[in-house]
């Protein structure tokens, strides 16, 4: 009988460490598009959190199981009907928002199932993107490494774009962090950061 061999600990990115810092020890966490389960495994080990992930990729689901992470295989576009109102303290959507077809719906569902939501996404306001467009080309960078014809990123936005949408949906932003690669950016973040991370309160 084949057994799943546990995976060794992996490097935790700076943005995931910041996300983890916003999550209370021992709390219930739902990670949407959880990938290989790195964040949830980190939260379980270092903060005693009770977590579950949602992921569609077969390989990533297996990676989660190897890390001892509870995972449900499902397409996020189908919604979060499996989960009750306020079932979690925090719900995370890391580097996935820009690939969602129904952006408003997933944010509203996040606000329904948890008191706090955390999202991260590539910052389309990063200055080389504008320079690339001025030269007549769609930008291709570390956070957006795809060509225009094969990219999964269908809803790109700037920091201000997201803040406006959050306000319209009644989501109160409580914390913000911005990064370029593994370094945090604090000065002129709208131009200099490649990745934005926001924490919001649902207001329920």
Percentage of the chain exceeding pLDDT 90:
75
pLDDT digits (tens, 9 = 90+) for 59-105: 999 999 999 999 999 999 988 999 999 999 999 999 999 999 999 99
127: left (phi over 0), alpha (psi -120 to 50) or beta: alpha
Q: What structural domains and CATH numbers belong to the chain?
A: 14-123+158-201 (3.40.50.150)
* 41/47 Cα distance (integer angstroms): 10
- Phi, psi (5° rounding) for residue 131? -65, -40
CA-angle at 161, arms to 160 and 164, nearest 5°: 85
- Contact (Cβ atoms closer than 8 angstroms) between residue 196 and residue 178: yes
pLDDT at res. 151: 77
Strands 71-73 and 50-55, by their bridges, are parallel
pLDDT at 204: 61
pLDDT at 10: 65
The reported pTM is 0.90
Return the pLDDT at 137.
80
**How large is the average pLDDT for residues 53-63?**
96
What local confidence, expressed as pLDDT, does residue 5 receive? 44
| Residue 31: strand pairing partners | 53, 92
Place of tokens 């990745």: 195
Model pLDDT for residues 8-48, shown as the tens digit of each residue: 556 899 999 999 999 999 999 999 999 999 999 999 999 99
pLDDT in tens, 143-198: 777 777 777 778 899 999 999 999 999 999 999 999 998 899 999 999 999 999 99
Residue 42: both structure tokens together:
């980190």
**Cα–Cα distance measured from residue 176 to residue 186, given in angstroms and rounded to the nearest whole number:** 10
Nearest to 201 by CA among 167, 161, 158, 159: 167
Residue 116 per-residue DSSP state: E
Looking at every residue in the chain, the average pLDDT score rounds to 90
pLDDT digits (tens, 9 = 90+) for 126-145: 887 887 887 888 778 777 77
Tell me how many degrees the CA angle 141-144-150 measures, rounded to the nearest 5: 115
Strand pairing report for 88-94 and 195-201: unpaired
């Amino acid at each position: 009988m084949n057994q799943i061999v546990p995976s060794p600990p992996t490097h935790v990115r700076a943005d995931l460490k910041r996300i983890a810092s916003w999550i209370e020890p021992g709390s219930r966490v739902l990670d949407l598009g959880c990938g290989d389960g790195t964040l949830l495994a980190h939260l379980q080990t270092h903060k005693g959190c009770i977590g579950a992930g949602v992921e569609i990729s077969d390989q990533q689901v297996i990676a989660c199981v190897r890390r001892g992470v509870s995972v449900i295989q499902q397409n996020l576009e189908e919604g979060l009907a499996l989960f009750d109102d306020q079932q979690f303290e925090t719900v995370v959507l890391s580097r996935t928002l820009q690939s969602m077809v129904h952006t408003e719906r997933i944010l509203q569902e996040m606000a329904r199932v948890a008191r706090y939501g955390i999202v991260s996404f590539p910052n389309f306001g990063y200055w080389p993107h504008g320079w690339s467009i001025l030269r007549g080309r769609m930008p291709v960078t570390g956070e957006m490494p795809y060509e225009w014809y094969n990219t999964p990123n269908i809803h790109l936005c700037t920091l201000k774009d997201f803040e406006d949408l959050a306000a319209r949906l009644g989501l109160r932003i409580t914390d913000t962090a911005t990064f370029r690669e593994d370094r945090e950016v604090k000065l002129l973040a709208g131009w200099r950061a490649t990745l934005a991370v926001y924490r919001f309160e649902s207001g329920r």
